[in-house]
Amino acid sequence: MGYKHIKVSDALTKQQAGQVDGPCFAVMELRDKIKQSVRGLQFIERNKKSLYIYRDDCPYVLGWIGYGDYRQGGDGTEMYVVHARTIENGKYADYNDQHFMKMSTNIDTALKSVKTYIRPYNPVDLADMNMKQVATAISDVSGAVTSKMREIQGSIVDVRSYGDNSQTRLFTELKHLLTTNHELVDPPFGTALIDSFAAVEEEKQYKGRSVPMWFVRVYERFGAQAFDVLSIDNAENWNPNIGDERYTYNADTLPEDIMGKLSVLNILNDDQYVDDVGYRASEGMFYVVR
């Protein structure tokens, strides 16, 4: 199943709703050692044997700590566990949750694993995290345009029985008649043809188009809003080219085009896309069409 990224907001909601139990003593003991050794880390109850780890400046949890027997086919021996996206446990395939775990009976070894593997997400990590959803949303818009074109053409005439290219050939001939001011016997049919030709042109614009975007992360720094911005050249792809250079702005210096589109995206629900505007991944994480 691979690594599952958890939003801090979702984890906090479950804790505040009382949907998780408080952690056991062994987990709290490890938590206290982490607090004494590492600054800036905070904790959310995950279940009675584990705690999420997060930072205020990152929208996703950085991992979790636990105490129990998390091994496949284990013998019941409980161990301290550190779970993080940066861990690669070669004893397990990467579709197993254990692939992302370090386990030890020694609490100090677990503390060392926390120091080694619990790391913040960098801006490129955050930008890349939702690219499959963004690309799918862009593709859905293009697919809807194509479906609209086919529906309009299909409502005019069905010529499928005359071969694969017959419909294209027919509409090419009909378009020629209209452009030469030929008067049709049925004027509404002519109107339908005009709508069809417009749909074809629209479909051409969307088919195979490239959609460059800005990834924008909005957060608070020194009591004011800050904006980290990265470029994405081909957001319609699942594996786009994400620029390494980060631009940081405040509310006064953020380009007006980005600010205007952010105001639209702010009123959307998470995982919603508006063509030519952008995609809202979550609070504070946006993909703005350039």
Would you say residue 177 has pLDDT above 60? no
Q: Is 28 exposed, middle or buried (0-12, 13-18, 19+ CB in 10 A)?
A: middle
Share of the chain above pLDDT 90, in %: 61
13 and 110 part of one domain: yes
| pLDDT over 80 (residue 106) | yes
Domain extent, residue 50, equals: 8-121
Do 221 and 284 sit in the same domain of this protein? yes
Residues 6+ apart with CB under 8 A from 246: 123, 228, 229, 230
Q: Show which of 163, 190, 206 is a domain's final residue.
A: 206
Is the pLDDT confidence value at 172 over 90? no
Per-residue pLDDT at 176 exceeds 90:
no
Whether residues 70 and 159 share a domain: the answer is: no
Q: Are residues 263 and 167 in the same domain?
A: no
Mean pLDDT on 140-166:
62
274 domain residue, yes or no: yes
Q: Does residue 132 belong to any structural domain of this protein?
A: no
Is the model's pLDDT at 117 over the cut of 80? yes
On average, the pLDDT of the chain sits at 86
The whole-number pLDDT of residue 166 equals: 46
Half-sphere exposure of 269 (CA within 13 A, CB side): 0
Looking at residue 184, what is its pLDDT? Answer: 56
- Is residue 126 one of the residues assigned to a domain? no
Count of domains forming the chain:
3
According to DSSP H, which parts of the chain are helical?
Answer: 8-16, 25-37, 107-117, 123-129, 131-156, 166-179, 187-206, 256-265
Position 168 pLDDT exceeds 70: no
pLDDT beyond 90 at 136: yes
The reply to whether 15 and 84 lie within a common domain is yes
Q: Is residue 146 part of a domain?
A: yes
Looking at the structure, tell me whether residues 15 and 93 fall in a common domain: yes
Q: Residue 160's pLDDT band (boundaries 50, 70, 90)? A: very low
Please state the rounded mean pLDDT for residues 55-69: 94
Question: Do 45 and 89 lie in a common domain?
Answer: yes
> Is the domain of 216 the same as that of 199?
no
Would 244 be classed as within a structural domain?
yes
The model's confidence at residue 159, banded by pLDDT at 50, 70 and 90, is very low
* ∠ Cα 216 219 220 (to 5°): 150
Once rounded to an integer, what is the mean pLDDT over residues 108-130? 95
pLDDT tens-digit map of 189-245:
556 666 666 666 656 666 777 899 999 999 988 889 999 999 999 999 988 999 989
Which of 166, 190, 206 is where one domain is finished? 206
What is the tens place of the pLDDT at every residue in 1-37? 689 999 999 999 887 777 767 778 999 999 999 999 9
Condensed to tens digits (0 to 9), the pLDDT of residues 94-104 reads: 999 999 999 99
Query: Strands 272-274, 278-282: parallel, antiparallel or unpaired by DSSP?
Result: antiparallel
Confidence label for 283 from pLDDT (cuts 50, 70 and 90)? confident
Domain's final residue, options 206, 238, 265: 206
Asked whether the predicted pLDDT for residue 110 surpasses 60, the reply is yes
Q: Tell me what pLDDT residue 280 has.
A: 97
Domain match, 227 and 197 both: no
Same domain, 15 and 106: yes
What does the pLDDT read at residue 118? Answer: 98
Report pTM: 0.74
215 in the same domain as 202 = no
Size of the chain in residues:
290
Quick check: 290 pLDDT over 90?
yes
Query: Is 257 contained in some domain?
Result: yes
Residue 193 lies in a domain: yes
Q: Which residue has the higher pLDDT, 42 or 56?
A: 42
Same-domain status, 23 and 44: yes
Whether 66 is covered by a domain: the verdict is yes
